[in-house]
Amino acid sequence: MNDQHIASAFDRDLEAIQAQIMKMGGLVENAILEAAISLESRDEERAEAVRRADKVIDALEESINEEAARVIALRAPTAIDLRLVLTVIKVSANLERIGDYAKNMAKRTGVLAQMAPVDDSAGALRRMAREVERMLKDALDAYIARDAELAQDVIDRDREIDQMYNALFREFLTFMMEDPRNITACMHLHFIAKNVERMGDHVTAIAEQVVYLVTGAHPDETRTKADKTSLPVE
């Protein structure tokens, strides 16, 4: 098998894997939005659909990893091509984690539906999740277009998600202090807010992989988080 044939076979394999990545990305984007909408509308059936769909996301990640391992074993990619394959593996891993956080949000919908609403907290969480979904869409667009500038923009926007989380955290503390009956609901809402903030971190990690893929260098690692609550809630 000549080098040109090997190269074209690698390209075909990579295109197939990238098609799976984009399918997975679309499912994760939908999971974020559906989980947030189900929370705000207290729609338990919609939340359950998000939980069921997570199994498809998990299966896609497993398929991508298996295909990537096969490509590495069969095609013996060059250093640059290997970077492409490793990026695919890391992107799919981050997508899977984002899907898990969306599933976790959906799990709490049923619990919160039995409690009195706390101001417009669910609406604020939906808006925060919507921003994360937009970041994810741009990160995936940057990956396909090999657009380091767009990827860097996504990285920079994570600070806005952190600030939204910080504001919600302060609001939840205020609600709990004003009325102890809000404590249980606010604790659940805080877990959700932290999950959405962590989604933003994983989207940022995808964007960082795009910058590395395009430039061969990692983004500035001195970037500081704007999350000031220091509560390690997963």
- Whether the predicted pLDDT of 176 surpasses 90: yes
Residue 163 domain flag: yes
Residue 95 domain flag: yes
Helix (H, G, I), strand (E, B) or coil at 39: helix
- Mind listing the pLDDT tens digit for each residue in 59-118? 999 999 999 999 888 877 777 788 888 999 999 999 999 999 999 999 999 889 888 888
Query: For residues 150 and 167, what is the distance between their CA atoms, to the nearest angstrom?
Result: 26
Question: Which structural domain, as residue segments, surrounds residue 144?
Answer: 3-215
Indicate which CATH number applies to the domain containing 162.
1.20.58.220
Predicted pLDDT at 224: 55
Query: For residues 6 and 22, what is the distance between their CA atoms, to the nearest angstrom?
Result: 24
Predicted pLDDT at 231: 47
- Mind listing the pLDDT tens digit for each residue in 5-24? 456 777 888 889 999 999 99
Predicted pLDDT at 78: 76
pTM value surpassing 0.95: no
- Read off the pLDDT band of 232 (50, 70, 90): very low
Residue 227 domain flag: no
Residue 184 domain flag: yes
**Count of the separate structural domains present in the chain:** 1
The contacts of residue 228 (CB under 8 Å, 6+ apart) are 166
